[in-house]
Amino acid sequence: MAFRLPARTIWRASPKFAAIPRISTQAPRWKRKYAVSTDENRTAIVTGSARGIGKAIALRLANDGYDVCINDIATNKSGADEVVKEIQALGRKSFAYIADVSNLSEVQGLVQASVSELGPLNTMVANAGIAQVKALLDLTEQDLRRMFEVNVFGVYNCYTTAAKQLISQNTPGKLIGAASIVAFKPFALLSHYSASKWAVRGLTQAFAMEMAEHKITVNAYAPGIVGTAMWDLIDEKLGEKTGAKKGDTIKKYTDELIALGRTSVPEDVAGTVSFLAGRDSDYMTGQTIVIDGGIIFT
């Protein structure tokens, strides 16, 4: 008859084994170094934040405890001023700065003004962008150039200027850019817009690799069909091409494409940006997160 002794009994009974020290398998407790302490004042710049997704992001970050620099172009100044008032009503500092993100010197002025007014920079949200509905063969050189000036050069200008500021401060930080579901699957009649958002994905990944040594994370968010002025324009222009009534194109997309059965609202996107700007995403970089209700599955 065989006898089996528990492993603990053998360990205690054998002098040979008893002399061997036990090795702890507990994982080391790494200290997280990327996040900005919640005890410190946190500041963020949100471009294109006078309305729509940018506004929702700015308000969400203010609710998260950030002082926020609101940026937009001159034609949207009144909207930017209103967002500033809303943020100040939440008890956070805010001011508006007019700048065109496609102009590097204006972005540099934006970052300098934010640091001067609010303090050291923590987070840059390169949200500003434009869209245009047009068939590929109808595009002009200027159409293509302007799309890339705003959507690609604009993100590059924001990323690089904010990164240089963070490095000069010797502080970690977050760079966050606006991509789109068309950065994964282009839409017809949105070809150059789609191409610009693919470029944002590429820039985000490249910056993530080069900024990692500075403890700067770089990620992007990819909204789907959102109830904003941009998508109202897309709906209208696509309707002109197809003969659909206003609102019918978005309804068709919603019914046929979106798994959750509703178009997005700006606050859906703002919640994801809040995560990317916060401490829980400290170990994430180079990613583009899709928030589309289930159109694109990655």
Annotated catalytic residue within 66, 97, 156, 193: 193
66-72, strands of its sheet edge to edge: 94-98, 66-72, 42-46, 123-126, 173-178, 216-223, 288-291
Reduced to 3 states, what is the DSSP secondary structure of residue 82? helix
In SS3 terms, 183-237 reads as HCCCCCCCHHHHHHHHHHHHHHHHHHHHHHHHCEEEEEEEECCECCHHHHHHHHH
Query: What is the spatial distance between Cα 109 and Cα 111, in angstroms, rounded to a whole number?
Result: 6
Residue 156 among the catalytic residues: no
Query: What is the spatial distance between Cα 54 and Cα 46, in angstroms, rounded to a whole number?
Result: 7
* Catalytic (active-site) positions: 193
